[in-house]
Amino acid sequence: MPNEEKIEPNTEKEEVQAELVEDVDDDFADAHPFVPTPAEEPKPEEPEAPKEEISPEEEEVPLTEEEEPEDLGEHAELQGEPDLQYDDPNLLAIEEARKKWAAYNRKSGRIKFLYSTIILLAILAGWLVPTLTMRNSGTTPLIIGLIGAVAGIAILAIAGVVRQKAAKGVLRDYFNAYYDSVNAYTLKPLGVDDIQGDVDCKITTEEFLEGGAFDKVASVGSRDNITFTYRDMTCALADAAASVDGGKALQTIFVGKYLRTHNKLNVSDEGLLIYFSGNERALPPEKMKTLHLCERTKRFKMYGSSQDKKVLGKKIRDGLARIRTDKLLVDVTIVIKPGRTYWYLGYEDDIMVLPNEKPFDTRFIKEYRWQIADILETARFMNE
């Protein structure tokens, strides 16, 4: 294997880097030119900034101050121009696999259009020619035309099945190349061993609900459910999406990475639920509404008993302080049960959808690599 950069998650106390630059809000004061107010008119009072609404239950829980880590790693800039520098063999492998798939997809589209045009012209000719040359032959031209149409449709259908089967094979090769390269780039530099599974490995509905963040689902989709060992701790990780019955249509409740790890924490059967809120696309689990809020900080809320939260020692607290939601990591739900920890990592399409026609932008994989490093290290602290 080519030399890989060794990523060591920094667990020392660190200072948080500046927040990612947000788009300028059009309502921001300096977005408009200054217009003087006439002297005879009273200057209107500026409205107070809206205050965050806090439920009565939250008002009873004081805001806990967190110690900030100094260095969160070499995080990628998620705004601006795409990063098309494939400075690692695994990143280059993803782009080469994407090119192969995109070229096949374009070629297949052209062939489909050509076949369809030829067959439609043949059907039209099969009706027009007999009609013009056999005017006094009764229904014979119509019968010949129908036979030609049926034959053309059958040929078109058979060709479609053959193309679809070939496309599935090429697409599967792309998926395998993508996930093998992503796992090699993000996990192996951490010292991860014994990666088992592939893109066809899935989780069951029961496995998704096992964590307890969600009470029920209508459907669960998944892929690349792998197991591996991180510093003597067995882990499982899968891409997953879940939805519930919203009445007229299914409603998405989770899209992202579903990580399962072990722990040695002495918590009750109810356990703890920690939720890191994110941007406007966050999908907080409904389960939180039924749980007791025992702690809140500027970045997360913790639900469960005050007795259970005492098991979160300094190392674990330092690890939690490193978890940051951003434009890529939409939100994070952590459920701590006796012996097992469940991590629902909500991610944007930049990670969950494979690149197609556009070149592979490496910024998001590079950011994910640092995020999963911090999360796995926090999970290890829970297992000590």
pLDDT digits (tens, 9 = 90+) for 96-148: 999 999 898 887 777 777 777 777 777 676 666 666 666 666 666 667 666 76
Residue 160 inside a domain? The answer is yes
Residue 10 has pLDDT above 50, yes or no: no
User: Is residue 263 a contact partner of residue 382, using CB atoms and an 8 Å limit?
Assistant: yes
Write down the pLDDT at residue 351.
94
Residue 61 inside a domain? The answer is no
255 sits in which H/E element: strand 250-262
Domain total for the chain? 2
Domain ranges, residue 325: 196-382
Q: How confident is the model at residue 87 (pLDDT cuts 50, 70, 90)?
A: very high
Residue 49 inside a domain? The answer is no
Rounded to two decimals, what is the model's pTM? 0.76
Determine the Cα–Cα distance for residues 351 and 366; give it in Å rounded to an integer.
10
Residue 67 inside a domain? The answer is no
243 and 176 together in one domain: no
Residue 215 has pLDDT above 60, yes or no: yes
Mean pLDDT of 276-298: 92
Q: Domain boundary residue among 153, 181, 209?
A: 181
243 and 314 together in one domain: yes
Determine the Cα–Cα distance for residues 334 and 102; give it in Å rounded to an integer.
37
Write down the pLDDT at residue 39.
40
Residue 224 has pLDDT above 80, yes or no: yes
Dihedral sign, CA of 57, 62, 63, 66?
Answer: negative
224 and 320 together in one domain: yes
User: Who contacts 166 (Cβ-Cβ below 8 Å, separation ≥6)?
Assistant: 108
pLDDT tens per residue across span 36-83 = 334 444 444 544 444 444 454 555 788 887 777 766 666 667 878 899
176 and 234 together in one domain: no
